[in-house]
Amino acid sequence: MKGRLISLEGGEGAGKSTLLAGLSAHFERSGMDVLYTREPGGTPVGEAIRALVLDPARRGMAVETELLLMFAARAQLVREVLQPALVSGRWVLCDRFTDASYAYQGGGRSIDATRIGELERIATGGLKPDLTLLLDLPVAHGRARASQRSDADRIEVERDDFFERVRVTYLARAQAEPARFRVIDALQPVDAVLQAAVAAIDALRADVTT
């Protein structure tokens, strides 16, 4: 049986790392064999690209360069990790996927969505998540949370208006594909966020077995 791909999306400070930890514990209790990966990264090539893209010293990077690097890492992840896992029947939970490029490079950097779509077809071969969990919260709240973490990377230092565009784009994509997206209020307590995510995943599992 074909595996399933779940992506986790959200702006800065949305609580993705906290949710991933909670989901990991849930999957372990449920006996689910889930592969975890992230973008950019997830492979040796992808992790090298991640270090380059997020390096604060690379402030002069062109927006087109950033976009192409993101899709280069994604192409490697799809072919080296995602496709083999899904064909073998494993479920995969990926911290960000192609929606992030539409949100960050499309919304944030104002790159035309048509150009992103062309790269998506090349890099992913049409692979889309079966379920996308979008953690949503106001930018000011997310930025306040993120400021308590370690030093900001090259993208995290952007201005609030950049992240407002990111959020708007994420929500627009969720509205356009309601069957795939589950928007979760990330201002809720951690347990409530986890409960909402688990409910969405359990619904997907039920669809698979019926």
Q: Which residues pair with 7 in a beta bridge?
A: 94, 132
Closest CA to 40 of 78, 76, 74: 74
The Cα–Cα gap between 10 and 76 comes to 22
Contacts 24+ apart (CB under 8 A), 201-204: 201/6, 201/23, 201/131, 204/4, 204/6, 204/130, 204/131
CB of 197 within 8 A of CB of 93? no
The pLDDT value given to residue 153: 87
Mean predicted confidence (pLDDT) in 134-161: 88
The pLDDT value given to residue 209: 65
The pLDDT value given to residue 152: 82
CA-only gyration radius of the chain, Å? 16
Report whether pLDDT(148) > 60. yes
The CATH number of domain 5-209 is 3.40.50.300: yes
The pLDDT value given to residue 186: 97
Mean pLDDT lowest for which of 26-35, 62-71, 129-138?
26-35
The pLDDT value given to residue 103: 98
The pLDDT value given to residue 166: 98
pLDDT bucket at 101, cuts 50 / 70 / 90 = very high
The Cα–Cα gap between 33 and 128 comes to 20
The Cα–Cα gap between 9 and 112 comes to 20
The pLDDT value given to residue 2: 79
Q: Kind and range of the H or E element at 87?
A: helix 83-87
Mean predicted confidence (pLDDT) in 154-178: 96
Closest CA to 70 of 36, 38, 35, 114: 38
pTM above 0.75, yes or no: yes
Q: Which residues pair with 1 in a beta bridge?
A: none
Closest CA to 13 of 141, 190, 171: 141
The Cα–Cα gap between 132 and 146 comes to 22
Mean pLDDT lowest for which of 96-100, 119-123, 157-161?
157-161
User: Which of 33 and 66 is assigned the larger pLDDT?
Assistant: 66
For all residues of the chain together, what is the average pLDDT?
94
Q: Which SS3 state, helix, strand or coil, does residue 94 take?
A: strand
Q: Kind and range of the H or E element at 145?
A: helix 139-146
pLDDT in tens, 45-89: 999 999 999 999 998 999 999 999 999 999 999 999 999 999 999
Report whether pLDDT(1) > 60. no
pLDDT in tens, 190-209: 999 999 999 999 999 888 76
